[in-house]
Amino acid sequence: MNALEDDGSAEGFLHSELLVLIDKLGRIRGTYDGTSKAEVDKLIKDIELLKTEIIPIIHP
C-alpha cells in the first residue's frame, strides 16, 4: 500500500483504488475498494463506529 512516483501523471504519483481505515493508535481497521459504492458506504459506517470508540489512556 504505497504511492509510487510517476513524473508522467498529472499528480506526480500513481495510486490504487484501495482505501485503508486506520485508528488513532495506528492500527489498520479495514480496507475498502474505493471504486465500489457498497465498499465506500461500509467505510463511512465504519468511520462513524470508530468515532464512538473510547481509546484508553496508557501511562508509561
Contacting residues for 18 by C-beta, under 8 A, at least 6 apart = 1, 31, 32, 33, 34
The domain of 31 spans 17-52
CA distance 23 to 39: 18
pLDDT in tens, 1-39: 555 555 566 666 667 899 999 998 899 999 999 999 999
Q: Tell me, yes or no, whether 9 lies in a domain.
A: no
The yes-or-no verdict on residue 48 having pLDDT over 90 is yes
Whether residue 5 is contained in a domain is answered as no
Higher pLDDT, 45 or 25: 45
57 inside domain: no
